[in-house]
A and B are shown apart, each in its own frame.
Chain A
Amino acid sequence: MKFWYFSETAYPYLPPEDTYPSIRVTLPNLNYDPQAGASLYDRYLDEWLIAESEGLNLMLNEHHQTATCVDPAAPVMMGALARLTKRARLLILGNPISNRRDPVRVAEEMALIDVLSHGRLEVGFVRGVPYELAAANSNPVRSNERHWEALELIIKTWTHHAGPFVHEGRFFHHRNINIWPRPYQQPHPPVWVSATSPSGSARVGASGFVQATFLTGYHGTPGVFESYRRGWRSAGRAGDPPLDRLAYAPLVYTSDSARSARLGAEKLLWYLKANKVPEYYRNPPGYLPVEMGVRIMRGAAPQLATSMKNFGVDDAIKSGIMFAGTPDEVHDQVVKFYDHVGGFGHMLMMGQAGFLDHEETTHGIREFAREVIPRLSETLRDRAPQRSAA
């Protein structure tokens, strides 16, 4: 199992929630104090470096027009980390390529960071959460088609070395593709794709890229992983995918004291509670398949259910979106989840959110790294996942 640390570098100093309709897209940036923001970046970057010193790999993501994640340019932040770090693997998860107008530029950015970091970059691509569409002015319809054309073009751009090539596709046109630098890693950095639904993950499985799923818990994760496995086999491969093809991202907080573990976990839940988004940004027409839209109109809850917003720590742990407590408790929670979903090879732990301060955050990182990882690695070594009855 490989462990990755991330936070969404949020800006939590906001007016009361009932004074604005949405934290995403429309909350005026007058509410952002750049000096406070600069201090936050200093702190968040320090925490990534502490995670590296504790032996963790690092991950970051990208969101736009939101206080929940003040990183609208993952390549920029990763450029900083590429130079500040020395040994950790660096994962961007991910580039929202269906909302980027120029995939060749994305390929350049990634190649640049790969060389800057001397070959430690891992490149994730995401379709993006629905609220990103308004911020990017990106058409909700055909985001999957744009995503896959962009992804294939990026990989070709990374791996073509004989001089300019042409791409006149459905969504992107370029007559002279010939990026400098080319990637450090050969043939290219490892590719990850995130998806939270089975319909997305089958294609990822066929492609063989690493599949990450976020906060899908006990209920949603097995379906995503199973669909990946089917996709994997559908491409003609024998047997199951190796565990390093599957990644899970939970909220994680660990402390030697049960009480401070609980308090830390509660603070982490800001990530869910703060996400006030009106329906029209949560479910724009065309983002979900038509059949899903029909089910929602009949009363089914949409994918990123608003019910999570009201979760307490116990709900969050029970649902499998959070692992929190003392080291033993966290260890046991992870193993139970691991067995239930049939195993996975990467844990992407969100270890900071909201008002969890620097001391609390670093305590959580260190407790997990020093007290959970060694025991967990031992337990999971050569462990055939003991799947509970479906």
Chain B
Amino acid sequence: MQRDEIEIAGLAVEYFAAGSGRPLLFLHDELGLWPEASFLNSLCRRRRVVALSLPGFGQSDLPLWMDCVDDLSYVALGLLDRLGLSAVDVIGCSLGGWVAAELTSKAPERVKRLVLAAPYGVKLGAPDRLEFPDLFAMSKAELAERSFHNVSSAEINGAELSDADLTKLVRNRESFALFAWEPYLHNPKLSRRLDRANAPTLFIRGASDGIVSAEYVAGYAALFSDAAVTEVPAAGHFVHLEQPEAFITQSLGFLDLT
């Protein structure tokens, strides 16, 4: 993918673009944007894909004033403005799914069709129960178990990564903590705003996702006027990473329906 940098709201934002065809905005998960990922390459073969590193991730700035996912959705909209993309299909994974939900509640006219893969973002239940297990209060082993169907996918050997990549990983993790911490992985207002969302929406969830439950996804989907839910077997929280082919089939299959 071709890398570029653009200034939005006073901060430097890195983004990648490749492919041709109908435009598609990809909003990455909390691990960050790794442009060589196979699912991205597959997407680029059939669509014009635009993918930014959200502020705080990759090489994108994170100014002190920015502290919530709502802020991130403005930057994504700003990128669409600057690239002259009036309406796009959107795929958001996990944290990126939360950004996508904020975006679509704010500017539904910019979203043609929407895929949300294991998104965070809304509070559905009672005050005495978290929607997701506390990712910042579990061992690396448990986190890996909950995140991946095949736990060996989770292993990162520090020694094998370059300084640049390791720095990116650590910084991405820090930025995720900033946005996730409180209220925990949700915006209390978002569930009240999704009545504005009107794009046909598909929720994708991995059958082995130990972070975002099937019940949560069903509750989230119920907040949308036009949403369906599909489950991908043998995949955990990062369906696009563990089952890229099934992910592409499901998401492009849905997005290409118009």
Mark A residues whose CB is within 8 Å of B.
25-26, 134, 137, 139-142, 145, 170, 278-281, 284-286, 290-291, 293-294, 297-299
Q: Is the CB of A137 within 8 A of B182?
A: yes
In whole angstroms, what is the CA distance A141 to B136 when docked?
13
In whole angstroms, what is the CA distance A217 to B159 when docked?
30
* Residues of chain B from 187 to 243 with CB closer than 8 A to chain A in the complex: none
Q: Which residue of B lies closest to A145 (CB)?
A: B64
In whole angstroms, what is the CA distance A137 to B65 when docked?
20
In whole angstroms, what is the CA distance A278 to B182 when docked?
22
Q: Is the CB of A299 within 8 A of B158?
A: yes
Q: Is the CB of A293 within 8 A of B174?
A: yes
Q: Is the CB of B170 within 8 A of A297?
A: yes
Shortest distance between the CB of A28 and any CB in chain B (Å):
15
Residues of B within 8 A of A298 (CB): 158-159, 166
Mark B residues whose CB is within 8 Å of A.
64-65, 67, 136-140, 156, 158-159, 163, 166-167, 169-171, 173-178, 181-182
Chain A interface, >50% SS class: loop
Q: Which one, B139, B173, B175, B181, contacts A279 given CB within 8 A?
A: B139
Q: Is the CB of B167 within 8 A of A290?
A: yes
Q: Is the CB of A294 within 8 A of B178?
A: no
Top 10 nearest A-B pairs (CB, nearest first) are: A297-B158, A293-B170, A141-B178, A286-B174, A285-B177, A285-B173, A139-B181, A285-B174, A286-B177, A294-B166
Q: Which one, A26, A134, A291, contacts B136 given CB within 8 A?
A: A134
Q: Is the CB of B140 within 8 A of A297?
A: no
- 27 residue pairs bridging A and B, Cβ less than 8 Å apart: A25-B137, A134-B136, A137-B181, A140-B174, A141-B175, A141-B177, A141-B181, A142-B178, A145-B64, A170-B64, A278-B139, A279-B139, A280-B137, A280-B140, A281-B137, A285-B136, A285-B174, A285-B176, A285-B177, A286-B178, A290-B174, A293-B170, A294-B170, A297-B158, A297-B169, A298-B166, A299-B158
In whole angstroms, what is the CA distance A67 to B67 when docked?
33
Shortest distance between the CB of A169 and any CB in chain B (Å):
11
Shortest distance between the CB of A139 and any CB in chain B (Å):
4
In whole angstroms, what is the CA distance A238 to B32 when docked?
47
Residues of B within 8 A of A278 (CB): 139
Residues of A within 8 A of B176 (CB): 285
In whole angstroms, what is the CA distance A134 to B137 when docked?
8
Residues of B within 8 A of A25 (CB): 137
Residues of A within 8 A of B159 (CB): 298-299
Q: Given that A140-B177, A293-B174 are known contacts, is A284 also in contact with B139, CB under 8 Å in the complex?
A: no
Q: Which residue of B lies closest to A297 (CB)?
A: B158
Shortest distance between the CB of B37 and any CB in chain A (Å):
21
Q: Which one, B138, B166, B181, B182, contacts A280 given CB within 8 A?
A: B138
* Given A26-B137, A285-B174, A290-B171: 15 more A-B contacts, CB < 8 Å: A139-B177, A139-B178, A141-B181, A145-B64, A170-B65, A284-B136, A285-B176, A290-B167, A291-B167, A293-B174, A294-B163, A297-B158, A297-B170, A298-B166, A299-B159
Residues of B within 8 A of A280 (CB): 136-140
In whole angstroms, what is the CA distance A298 to B67 when docked?
29
Residues of B within 8 A of A26 (CB): 137
Q: Is the CB of B182 within 8 A of A139?
A: yes
Residues of B within 8 A of A137 (CB): 181-182
Residues of B within 8 A of A134 (CB): 136-137
Most buried by B among A25, A26, A139, A286: A286
In whole angstroms, what is the CA distance A290 to B173 when docked?
10
Q: Given that A170-B65, A297-B158, A299-B158 are known contacts, is A141 also in contact with B174, CB under 8 Å in the complex?
A: yes
Residues of B within 8 A of A290 (CB): 167, 170-171, 174
In whole angstroms, what is the CA distance A299 to B161 when docked?
13
In whole angstroms, what is the CA distance A137 to B136 when docked?
11
Q: Which residue of B lies closest to A281 (CB)?
A: B137
Most buried by A among B64, B137, B175, B182: B137
Residues of B within 8 A of A140 (CB): 174, 177, 181
Shortest distance between the CB of A68 and any CB in chain B (Å):
18
In whole angstroms, what is the CA distance A140 to B177 when docked?
7
Shortest distance between the CB of B152 and any CB in chain A (Å):
18
In whole angstroms, what is the CA distance A286 to B166 when docked?
15
Q: Given that A139-B182, A145-B64, A170-B65 are known contacts, is A279 also in contact with B174, CB under 8 Å in the complex?
A: no
Residues of A within 8 A of B137 (CB): 25-26, 134, 280-281
Q: Which residue of A lies closest to B157 (CB)?
A: A297
Q: Is the CB of B166 within 8 A of A142?
A: no
In whole angstroms, what is the CA distance A284 to B64 when docked?
19
Q: Given that A142-B178, A290-B171, A297-B158 are known contacts, is A279 also in contact with B136, CB under 8 Å in the complex?
A: no
Residues of B within 8 A of A170 (CB): 64-65
Shortest distance between the CB of A170 and any CB in chain B (Å):
6
In whole angstroms, what is the CA distance A341 to B106 when docked?
58
Most buried by B among A26, A279, A291, A293: A293
Residues of A within 8 A of B175 (CB): 141
In whole angstroms, what is the CA distance A346 to B222 when docked?
63
